[in-house]
Chain A
Amino acid sequence: MKTDVVKVTFKSLLMVLAMLLVIPTGYAAENRAAALDDKVQSLKSEVMKLNRDLFILEEELLFPTSTQIAVFLSTDVGNYFKLDSIQLKIDEKVVANYLYTQQEREALSRGGVQRLYIGNVKKGKREIVAVFKGPGPNGREYSRATTHVFEKGSGTKYVELKITDVSQKLQPEFIVKEWE
């Protein structure tokens, strides 16, 4: 005797089978979902372009070429120094303090460059001081300051702080490079 329970559960078995027999590509989006996805894509694209325009406008307004200074940071693989933090001073005034995450360190070691600071300075001789902190070659806490004097002209000034590994010395090296 097959009871009603059997009928119900057998129906369930067939449903399980039907569910299993669905190809799990998951990409067969319905029309409505696809139309919505198109709308979202279009909005993302427009907001992105608006951000580009606002980025440019903001720079022009807040940091005009004649006074703009941007300080960048790049690092080597980091065998001899693990960057934890940086303090940046321009003309003895602290303009940036930054703590690094592991993800940021990895992005830097893969060739990424961080725009650490963007601001304004007047024309003439300026002094930049960067203090790098983090474990050094022997794992001990390492703090190193680098000073650089540069001439701010009428154009944008780009300064790159560069941490490189010097294999011969088994030490990190902190370099300041000016870009035109």
Chain B
Amino acid sequence: MHIKLLDKGRKNQRPGMLPALLLFALLTGLLTPGIGAAAKKEDNVVRDLDYGVVLFSYFQEQYFDAAVHLMASKELGRIPHHLDDADLLLGGVLLSYGLHQEAESVFSRLIDDGAPPDIRDKTWFSIGKIRYQKGLQADAIRAFEQIGKSLEKDMLTESQLLLANLLMGRGEFEQASGILKKLPGHSTDAMFAKYNLGISLFRSGQEIEGSEYLAEVGRVKSFDPEVMALRDKANLALGYALLGQEESSRARAFFQLVRLKGPFSNKALLGFGWSHAMQKDFESALTSWMELRSRKLTDSSVYESQLAVGYALEQLQAYPQSMQSYLEAIDLFKKEMSRLDGAMKEVRNGELMRYLVSQALGDKKGVISEKGLLQEVPEFRFITGIVSGHQFHEAIKNLRDLQLLRNNLEHWGGAIPTYKDMLRLRRQTYEERLPQLMPEQGDFKLAAIKDERTLYEEEYRRIVYEQDIRAVASSKEAAMLNRLDGIKGRLQQVGRRMNTSQYGDYENKYHLYRGLLEWEISTSFNQRAWKLRKGLNQLDKAIKTTEAQQETIRLAKKRAPRGFEGYDRQITHMDNRVKALQKRIDDVYSEQQQRVQDIIIAELSWLKERLSEYMDQAQFSLARLQDIASGQN
């Protein structure tokens, strides 16, 4: 697969960049759900094991572990074959972990290093997306405008949608509309963008144009829950907009398009009732409001239905029932306000926060399950509106991430004393063994050996110079030579007592044997001398090895304390870093927690204020009905 692509397309690009390109598809797959999951084995040829280890964490969405292992492996020089991919992977990992700024600087470096067009376009796409998520609109637009012609279709579509959103944010509706018209129609993202454009046009007073976009979204056929919710929302917006213009019949048609079991059904029922009420059809209004009133108290529309039912009954002149309805409403509002006070208390004492964070910790992406929470924490229904918001979700995610950082530092905080103990033990062991490792003693012995060696060398030279055959004779030969010397002496002693002929025979034999022996030795003298030389050379080698070992010991002795001190310093430094970070994390955690609490309290206060307003209203209405009943009005 790799080879094919190389041959076809980019002959001039650096060899390492092609796997990088495939890797990018993989990384951006995480940004664009679906593509990453389709990544195949052959795209990830691992040539360094540690790189594979990074991918193992990355594929399991353990981005922190992946980033740490990648950075450490790079530092330790363990991924020499993946250096090109490493930065790209690091950028993707950092982005997935939420480190937008660092990810952007990694991607920017890749562009500065002259990445090929495909990589450059995808990198600009990622940078644009990062900036978009950070709310840096002008910078995001500039990044998207840098994208050339080498971007894959899916990413190009996404970039255009984001660009359209950004242009809407700047009020450049025509340009946004122009982009959206060129895009394929019914994707989820396209629907969101069209909804946004419809709303933006509405807000800018271009209601007709806005209605067209909203109506298009409101008619879309889809089984995607996100799109279905968006469709409901578009119809609801159109319904309320028409209601505001007192076009109740047209408004009702849009309310009817909202699903009865969808997340916007409460608001639709409320509006639907009002569309009837505007036409003085209070019976029909009452039907939808009664249905709404019977629903769970998870939405402000349900509270409003408590008043609306009383109002409809009043309009139908069913005064006792209307009074009863207002009484029930007052009772409910009182109870709900009391529950709100309880919820605020739980928020302030951190109970709810702890629960939310523990829930977020249980999910890999830090998502809180609304359904589960509603069962566990009844007060949670008061804040479902804000919990689904991006800002709240990000804040909870931050708390979860900070808690994970805390856990991580707690682990290291526990490990560091062990390292200290280990180092102390090593130092102690070293110091205990130190007396046995005295290179100085060895030096003394070695000097004596070297002196001896000098003597051997001199002796060798003398033997060679004098051709001393006796010195090179074997022990057997030396014994024979000694024996011949003895024979010679005895011949000289007894020679005078022998006759000349007998003496001559013995002397001849002596010379013959001696000659034979000396000839034997002298003919192999060079060979025997070479053996001596070889022995001396081996001795030289052994001396050199010993000297090197002595030097190693000497150096180790010199360096070991420095090594211990170095590690000691490093461990202390790390310990300080852990403690300093723990403190900072605690501070930011408190700040972030306070921020989330403020958001929740603001929401609860706002709700309480509204309930109080509703209660006042119910009480006024009740008083008025009582007046009617007592005939004073």
Contacts and interface: CB of A to CB of B under 8 A. Distances in A.
Nearest to B621: A5
Contacts of B447: none
A6 B200 contact: no
A123 to B, nearest CB: 16
Contact of A47 (B244, B389, B409, B624): B409
B436 to A, nearest CB: 19
Given A5-B621, A26-B390, A12 B405 contact: no
Given A50-B581, A160-B49, A56 B75 contact: yes
Contact of A3 (B58, B195, B311, B578): B311
Contacts of A30: 391
Contact of B53 (A4, A5, A23, A72): A72
Contact of B398 (A37, A55, A56): A37
A24 B100 CA distance: 21
Contacts of B44: 110-112
Contacts of A3: 311, 314, 621, 624
Given A27-B132, A33-B595, A56 B76 contact: yes
17 contacts: A4-B621, A5-B617, A17-B244, A21-B202, A23-B199, A24-B195, A25-B196, A26-B391, A27-B135, A32-B595, A55-B69, A56-B72, A77-B41, A108-B56, A112-B44, A112-B53, A114-B56
Nearest to A11: B613
Nearest to B584: A43
Given A17-B237, A20-B233, A45-B99, A72 B574 contact: no
Interface string B533-567: 00000000000000000000000000000000001
Contact of A21 (B133, B199, B401, B409): B199
B591 interface: yes
B284 to A, nearest CB: 16
A144 interface: no
B64 to A, nearest CB: 7
Given A40-B402, A43-B585, 4 more contacts: A36-B592, A48-B68, A72-B49, A113-B46
Nearest to A33: B391
A12 B307 CA distance: 12
A171 to B, nearest CB: 18
B135 A29 contact: yes
A39 B617 contact: no
Given A27-B390, A33-B394, A58 B401 contact: no
A34 interface: yes
Interface of A: 3-6, 8-9, 12-14, 16-17, 20-30, 32-34, 36-41, 43-62, 70, 72, 74, 76-77, 103-104, 106-115, 158, 160, 179
Nearest to A111: B44
A8 B43 contact: no
A27 B199 contact: no
B307 A9 contact: yes
A170 to B, nearest CB: 18
Contacts of B394: 29, 33, 37
B408 interface: yes
A23 B146 CA distance: 26
A60 B426 CA distance: 13
B408 to A, nearest CB: 6
Contacts of A8: 307, 613-614, 617
A76 B300 CA distance: 55
B623 to A, nearest CB: 11
B237 A48 contact: no
A107 B57 CA distance: 8
Interface string B59-103: 110001001110110011000000000000000000001111110
Contacts, number: 228
B55 interface: yes
Interface string B242-271: 011000000000000000000000010011
A48 B64 contact: yes
The 9 A-B residue pairs with the shortest CB-CB distance, nearest first, are A113-B52, A111-B44, A26-B390, A112-B56, A107-B59, A20-B237, A17-B240, A5-B311, A52-B71
A50 B617 contact: no
Size range of the chain B interface in the assembly = 35 or more
B353 interface: no
B519 to A, nearest CB: 52
Contact of A55 (B57, B72, B97, B620): B72
Contacts of A59: 76
B366 interface: no
Contacts of B355: none
A160 B233 CA distance: 55
B97 to A, nearest CB: 7
Contacts of B46: 74, 111, 113
B347 to A, nearest CB: 18
B103 to A, nearest CB: 10
Contacts of B389: 26
B490 to A, nearest CB: 62
B613 to A, nearest CB: 7
Nearest to A160: B49
Contact of A41 (B69, B99, B135): B99
Interface in B216-232: none
Contacts of A4: 617, 620-621
Given A3-B311, A107-B56, A52 B75 contact: yes
A160 B47 CA distance: 12
A143 B57 CA distance: 27
A110 B41 contact: yes
B311 A6 contact: yes
A52 B68 contact: yes
Contacts of B128: none
A58 B419 contact: yes
A136 B308 CA distance: 67
Contacts of A56: 72, 75-76
A81 to B, nearest CB: 15
Contacts of A45: 99, 102
B368 interface: no
Contact of B45 (A29, A61, A103, A111): A111
A157 B77 CA distance: 15
Contacts of A55: 68-69, 72
Nearest to A101: B60
Nearest to A10: B274
B607 interface: no
Interface string B384-423: 0000011100110010011001001100100100010011
Nearest to B45: A111
A107 B60 contact: yes
Contacts of A76: 41
A111 B55 contact: yes
Contacts of A14: 244
Interface string B107-140: 0000000000000000000000000111100000
Contacts of A47: 405, 408-409, 581, 585
Contacts of A17: 237, 240-241, 243-244
A69 B301 CA distance: 65
B300 A12 contact: yes
A61 B56 contact: no
A91 B135 CA distance: 58
A39 B614 CA distance: 41
